[in-house]
């Protein structure tokens, strides 16, 4: 199948998924409410008792926290992709698509692209809420608009990469319900055993090691650096020393591996 058909077929499917979003606005809404709740809870409940780089100032924690919440939020798009694809399988839509002369990877690509749009919306709302509760870029180190946009770019790329993991989960489970929980439970250890919510340098050494090599941590560290926010960990671990590169490499690697696996699974899907 030609490259042209891959692009146009993916766009047809992305469009279909975006239309669905406008017909089920509550899904977009819940996608936004959950991280907003996290921002408010972490800022006001944990904010006073967390120490970042020796400081227990709630304002420091607030500025430290946002990169973590943003990164966690984009990865949670995984559940949406997984559930969406499992739903298409269950309803027989995947059978319909697989019987059509369309590009093989387009159903999944279209889905992940539509999920990326949802992630953009969520992230925009979240950034506004963060600003309202007092998050400021350049609070620790000077930064500029280009670097801040770069940070959001890395976040979106990470989110996109994780939706491919979601696609594979969606193709591997039997029901959309299983896909929703299967798409999210593993994200709790991934996002908590990291530098997202606590200063990783205060963890026990073996846990700290995991946290520093966690693909998710690289993006968080990169965002803190680019946002000019506090809490950038000094470490011997390569991903913590070169977080922007590490974030890019991890995300591209995840897309490469999981896209290949998911498309192969889709082709062979016995539904």
What are the residues binding another protein (CB under 8 A)? Answer: 1, 5, 8-9, 12, 15-16, 19-20, 23-24, 91-93, 95-102, 268, 270-271
Kindly give, in sequence order, each residue whose CB lies less than 8 Å from that of residue 196, ignoring residues fewer than 6 positions away. Answer: 67, 68, 69, 71, 72, 216, 217, 220
What's the closest the beta carbon of residue 13 comes to another protein, in angstroms?
Answer: 8
At 207, is the secondary structure helix, strand, or coil? helix
Looking at the DSSP bridge assignments, the partners of residue 55 are: 52
What's the closest the beta carbon of residue 115 comes to another protein, in angstroms?
Answer: 16
Question: In the chain, helix, strand, coil percent, each to 5?
Answer: 75, 0, 25
**CA-to-CA distance for 38 and 57, rounded, in angstroms?**
19
At 79, is the secondary structure helix, strand, or coil? helix
Give the residue with the Cβ less far from another protein, 10 or 143: 10
What's the closest the beta carbon of residue 238 comes to another protein, in angstroms?
Answer: 44
Q: Token pair for residue 126?
A: 């979240």
b/e per residue 13-26 (b: at least 16 CB within 10 A): bbeebbeebeeeee
Give the residue with the Cβ less far from another protein, 3 or 101: 101
Kindly report the number of other CB atoms within 10 A of residue 176's CB atom. Answer: 19
Give the residue with the Cβ less far from another protein, 18 or 148: 18
Give the residue with the Cβ less far from another protein, 19 or 131: 19
What's the closest the beta carbon of residue 92 comes to another protein, in angstroms?
Answer: 4
Give the residue with the Cβ less far from another protein, 101 or 205: 101
Is the torsion defined by CA of 221, 225, 231, 235 positive or negative? positive
Give the residue with the Cβ less far from another protein, 93 or 193: 93
What's the closest the beta carbon of residue 162 comes to another protein, in angstroms?
Answer: 24
What's the closest the beta carbon of residue 261 comes to another protein, in angstroms?
Answer: 19
Place of tokens 């936004």: 32
What's the closest the beta carbon of residue 161 comes to another protein, in angstroms?
Answer: 26
Give the residue with the Cβ less far from another protein, 11 or 257: 11
**Structure-derived torsion over alpha carbons of residues 144, 145, 146, 148, reported in degrees to the nearest 10:** 90
**CA-to-CA distance for 164 and 262, rounded, in angstroms?**
7
């Amino acid at each position: 199948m030609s490259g042209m058909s891959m692009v146009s077929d993916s766009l047809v499917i992305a469009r279909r998924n975006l239309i669905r979003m406008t017909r089920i606005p509550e899904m977009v809404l819940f996608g936004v409410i959950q991280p907003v709740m996290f921002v408010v809870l972490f800022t006001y409940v944990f904010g006073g008792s967390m120490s970042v780089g020796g400081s227990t100032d709630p304002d420091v924690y607030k500025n430290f926290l946002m990169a973590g919440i943003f990164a966690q939020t984009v990865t949670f798009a995984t559940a949406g992709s997984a559930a969406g694809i499992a739903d298409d399988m269950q309803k027989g839509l995947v059978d319909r698509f697989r019987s059509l002369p369309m590009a093989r990877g387009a159903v999944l690509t279209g889905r992940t692209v539509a999920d990326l749009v949802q992630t953009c919306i969520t992230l925009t709302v979240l950034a506004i809420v963060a600003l309202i509760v007092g998050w400021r870029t350049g609070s620790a180190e000077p930064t500029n608009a280009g670097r801040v946009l770069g940070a959001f770019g890395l976040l979106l790329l990470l989110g996109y990469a994780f939706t491919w993991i979601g696609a594979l989960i969606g193709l591997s489970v039997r029901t959309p319900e299983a896909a929703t929980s299967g798409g999210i439970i593993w994200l709790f250890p991934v996002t908590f055993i990291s530098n997202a919510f606590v200063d990783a340098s205060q963890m026990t050494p073996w846990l700290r090691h995991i946290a520093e090599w966690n693909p998710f941590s690289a993006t968080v560290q990169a965002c803190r650096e680019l946002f000019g926010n506090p809490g950038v960990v000094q470490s011997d671990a390569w991903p913590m020393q070169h977080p922007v590169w590490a974030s890019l490499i991890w995300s591209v690697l995840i897309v490469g591996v999981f896209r290949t696996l998911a498309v192969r699974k889709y082709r062979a899907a016995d539904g």
